[in-house]
Amino acid sequence: MTLANPKIPESARAVAADGTQLRYALMEMARDMPAVITLGRGDPDLPTPPHIIDAANRAMRAGLTAPTPVPGMPALRAAIAERLRAENGLPVAADNVMVTTGGQEGLFLAVQAIINPGDEVLVPDPRYSSYDDAIKRAGGKMVMVPTARDDAFNLDAAAVEAAISPASKALLIVTPSNPTAGIVTEERLRAIADVCIRHNLIVIVDEIYSKIVFPPWRHFSIGALPSMAERTITLDAFSKAYAMTGWRCGYAAAPADVIGAMARIKAVTTGAVATVSQWAGLAALEGPQDCISEYLDIYIERRAVLLAGLKRMGFAYGEPRGGLFVWADSSSTGIHAAELSYLLLKEAGVLIFPGTAFGEKWRDYVRITMLEPIETLRAAIERMLPVLERYRL
């Protein structure tokens, strides 16, 4: 790759390779550096609420740690179904729910259960790379559906329909999105549902950030629409809303035959989710919900600080309507995002991720998280500004 900016050192050129590999290389590099401000990874920095930890402790002390059925603890499956009915409008019962080892496993199991070699899966671009791995391991083929900054990375029904071929089997929807922080609005989801019904597509919808949506926007579940429950697999987890990433407890809701197929795969791979994590998940659903709004208020404040900082840096961005990221256009610097990410880590001690980790064409974008306290975010911005001035064309 030819660099436009001759001031960029050769060491930065060496890292501008495969985006996903670079993401992991940057994380490894950051581990060996002092006082790095981490604005790359997506794990919430806020604490797991005390009542959830207390429930896990009580379960362990009471000896309630025996393995559960592979699809999950019956009480937890019932509680998840009740939540999905009440808040998402999904017509599901406990038999339509499976507890998974985090949302990522839910995605993997869903894809393995429904995708055969040669099947095409329509995937929004950009996207998180775990989707790629799951689809490829099932023998499926990804077909990219474009999204755009001037549309806040909303998914468009016409773009979905244009990507359909005789081999199309499923559509992946991620709302709110990682990495773009866009949401798929209710109006768009209704139009997309019509497309999926006409073309007999299965929908896999990842809603792991559904509790982190910034007003006035709101989350809407496509599985709640008429004739969609029987063709929709809804994925979620406790990781983001309840700051429980390390507990590895997620869930899938789908037609009973799909849940059965996923459970058969899980039985011969990971088995049931750790029992203590399931007790924690049950406490998350049945206990106080104040933490969700409290955490959202914190993210709203951080978002404002980060967006103001990006404006100072001259970065454009799609409106972040939900989730924990800002997907920023760094083209004003004249530096490939891979090299820019390397320079900001090496010279400013700030870790961000290049856009090429989320799609090959996103060389002018970076993903920045808001998962640090406000003062740390401000410090990161002050660190980055001199580096940008040094190398900006």
Q: Which domains does the chain have, with CATH numbers?
A: 10-42+291-391 (3.90.1150.10), 52-286 (3.40.640.10)
- Residue pair 176/183 in contact (Cβ under 8 Å)? The answer is yes
Average pLDDT of 93-122?
Answer: 98
At residue 333, φ and ψ (nearest 5 deg) are: -80, -20
Kindly tell me if the per-residue pLDDT of 16 is higher than 70: no
What is the model's pLDDT at position 23? 80
Return mean pLDDT, the chain.
94
What is the model's pLDDT at position 154? 98
Kindly tell me if the per-residue pLDDT of 252 is higher than 70: yes
| 314 burial level (CB within 10 Å; 0-12, 13-18, 19+) | middle
pTM of the model as a whole? 0.93
- Confidence class for position 196, pLDDT limits 50, 70, 90: very high
Structure tokens at 122: 């329509």
Residues in CB range of 371: below 8 A, 6 or more apart: 38, 39, 41, 42, 43, 44, 45, 324
Q: Identify which of 113, 373, 157, 371 has the alpha carbon closest to the alpha carbon of residue 261.
A: 113
Kindly tell me if the per-residue pLDDT of 157 is higher than 60: yes
- Confidence class for position 393, pLDDT limits 50, 70, 90: low
Question: Burial letters for 84-111: b for 16+ Cβ neighbours within 10 Å, e otherwise?
Answer: beeebebebebebbbbbbbbbbbbbbbb
What is the model's pLDDT at position 77? 98
Kindly tell me if the per-residue pLDDT of 10 is higher than 60: no
Distance of CA 201 to the CA centre of its chain: 22
- pLDDT per residue as tens digits for the range 218-239: 999 999 999 999 999 999 999 9
Average pLDDT of 51-80?
Answer: 98
What is the model's pLDDT at position 1? 33
DSSP secondary-structure letter at 253? E
Q: Which of 21-25, 42-46, 119-123, 243-247 has the lowest mean pLDDT?
A: 21-25
| 212 burial level (CB within 10 Å; 0-12, 13-18, 19+) | buried
Kindly tell me if the per-residue pLDDT of 345 is higher than 70: yes
State whether residue 296 is helix, strand or coil.
Answer: helix
